[in-house]
Structure 1
């Protein structure tokens, strides 16, 4: 049905850790669930988001929550009650991350009359990539400017403003940002970029800059999905993008329907290294996404009310601090190589992979889905 449920399943399976960790698998459940909710809301537009950055933002809040507020977050995130173990796991994941081409962080903005405990800040800052800043929300415009400047800085000025619900009654707002800019490891060179058709639907096609490469890629075909899958690695990184391309130009809806029940557990066993003739539209996507509605659909309610109990992060150990919104901003930009010494062997047979119509994608390393989304227009 919706690219949500589908892409959720995809990310999980495509992740396939060789040593299954039940805690890690449960974390992925949350990442896929929140992804599905957002994609369901935004099926008609290009979307990119970082499930990992959102998870870190919510874990930051969980570690400061208490009582029923903490329990709702814990259940939605599928994590254990032991916050110390959670912090250790997050630190381990963070240490394994290659940060050469990506940046992600989250920041809790809270009213100036609230005092956070030093112990909480110390425990949350490094493992969850968290920052904290007090604002006078009575000065609404100034507070908005500060938040937007932070978002702009974190996304290299690609997202200059994030829609926000703050007003003079705001107590706290969580904002997460994720940014990726890198190049392909395979020779998608500028000299090979051409203008080709990208079909928005069955009737309308437009000419768009399209990158091109003939090389070896991980490739799979799925008769169940009626789709091609191609994995393209990034340079100087352990990251790769997996493009899920429907065989039919108007087949994204059908693909999304089938993804709900498709078993991706053994996808890694189906990859083959093939000589590929690849055309992919050159794209740069940014999204600004309020997550409150999606999180409420996952069962997180109390933290958005005046009953929100964040005693474990407050200096005096008790008190209510409602979160007005959890905002997420994400941006990806992937560029071609400057030059290539590649010599094409025209005697070889290449399998065509022409992403000339709407497709879904995930960006992952061995352990995490870092970004996911879909391209429906250019």
Structure 2
């Protein structure tokens, strides 16, 4: 836990996770208030569940930052929590080395995979420095496709790559509506996670109980997992934090993954808690994580299965990333070699993100993909704390993290566990 705390202090991904959670829920664009459903279906009134992958979005933004200059670069670096390209590259290298050593699954631990790719119009040449930076940071592969003459086949190839990288949990990320003959480059980033709890829940103890919806919206009957075993729980002013480690039969130096649940004391306290998390930045997770098990009284947490599919451009604008999306202001001159095609300067037309997660008695399986489309246009010896309850029967936030690096693989919140 101490190594994790130190790493979080220098990680821009934690801050990005907090701020994006707010932007994609109640803050910034007010998507929830506007009735935009964030679980891949038709729009509906009221707030909805949310899941996304900070790691997937962070890596895609980092790759594009390697080809940016001027204001475009400075806005990206600020959002990513870095002062320069070099600082970002160093931070990314440390995070990837700790969270995904050698890019291979760890024996006895969760199955974790991350993949990145740069897809460019075959008539244009990627600058070697940009290609090398993407490969060095995220082991990104560079592939030529025919956006100009056969954009539909290019879409299919990108989507096949995403499907393979996410174990078929996400079958597509781009469409002919977003990728066409004007597309010059697409950056994709995919994350897959499957982990078993260090202490799985007994399915026979799972029973239905009331889950209280926001703003007096009534109750729903949800399936709650239960346990009488000691849990990692920390009690803070206005909220509690639960940390549920995933099984790890590995050396202490290997990645350590866990799910963290932030449960507000008030039934309608989720938005207030997310405001505090966004304001607290990268240090919020570090300061509030439980570091030891405590005896529990009543303990319930619902099973849930969520999905998300939408553009995240508005959320990124809310974080101050604006020039990137403006054809007149975007500076992405370090991406493609200059040619005589007469193409206008590059800019990002869309950032599409999809994510899914399922949490049950055995553990967690989750996947996410992001596509950025560029157009030519140690245990404390103190006495054990008193027994505490942790009853997640009202909306809460969650994070799937790697403890040694501070990488946040997945984040979101649950406002109704019976809705997918």
TM range (shorter): 0.7 to 0.9
Q: Please tell me whether the aligned partners of residues 5 and 286 of structure 2 are also in contact (alpha carbons under 8 angstroms).
A: no
Q: Secondary structure at 2:295's aligned position in 1?
A: strand
**2:415 paired residue number:** 376
**1:245 paired residue number:** 263
Moved more, 360-369 or 306-315: 306-315
Distance 1:337 1:306, change over 3 A: closer
Distance 1:97 1:309, change over 3 A: same
Q: Residues of 2 paired with 1:163 and 1:196: CA distance?
A: 39
1:215 to 229, 238, 247: 229
**Over residues 18-49 of structure 1, what are the superposed CA-to-partner deviations in whole Å (9 max), with x where a residue is unaligned?**
3786xx34554444333332233444222112
Q: Residues of 1 paired with 2:8 and 2:170: CA distance?
A: 36
- Number of aligned residues: 350
Distance 1:179 1:330, change over 3 A: farther
Moved more, 309-318 or 138-147: 309-318
**1:299 paired residue number:** 320
Q: Please tell me whether the aligned partners of residues 173 and 323 of structure 1 are also in contact (alpha carbons under 8 angstroms).
A: no
Q: CA deviation at 1:214?
A: 1.7
**Over residues 199-226 of structure 1, what are the superposed CA-to-partner deviations in whole Å (9 max), with x where a residue is unaligned?**
334353333332222212121223x32x
Q: Residues of 1 paired with 2:398 and 2:112: CA distance?
A: 17
Q: CA deviation at 1:369?
A: 2.5
**Over residues 127-171 of structure 1, what are the superposed CA-to-partner deviations in whole Å (9 max), with x where a residue is unaligned?**
224333333334343333333333322322222233652333223
Q: Residues of 2 paired with 1:304 and 1:260: CA distance?
A: 24
2:242 to 225, 230, 238: 230
**1:36 paired residue number:** 22
2:311 pairs with 1:311: no
Q: Residues of 1 paired with 2:219 and 2:151: CA distance?
A: 44
Unaligned runs of 5+ in 2: 33-46, 249-254, 364-385
Q: CA deviation at 1:265?
A: 7.6
Q: Residues of 2 paired with 1:58 and 1:19: CA distance?
A: 21
Q: Secondary structure at 1:328's aligned position in 2?
A: strand
TM-score by length of 1: 0.79
**1:267 paired residue number:** 287
Q: Secondary structure at 2:229's aligned position in 1?
A: strand
Unaligned runs of 5+ in 1: 1-13, 339-348
Distance 1:132 1:305, change over 3 A: farther
Q: Secondary structure at 2:228's aligned position in 1?
A: strand
Q: CA deviation at 1:121?
A: 2.0
Q: Residues of 2 paired with 1:254 and 1:80: CA distance?
A: 30
Q: Residues of 2 paired with 1:300 and 1:265: CA distance?
A: 24
**1:10 paired residue number:** none
RMSD: 3.3
Distance 1:317 1:231, change over 3 A: farther
TM-score by length of 2: 0.72
Q: Residues of 2 paired with 1:183 and 1:246: CA distance?
A: 26
2:173 pairs with 1:162: yes
Distance 1:34 1:352, change over 3 A: closer
Q: Please tell me whether the aligned partners of residues 170 and 324 of structure 1 are also in contact (alpha carbons under 8 angstroms).
A: no
2:346 pairs with 1:324: no
Q: CA deviation at 1:305?
A: 3.8
Q: Residues of 1 paired with 2:75 and 2:335: CA distance?
A: 17
Q: Residues of 2 paired with 1:267 and 1:246: CA distance?
A: 16
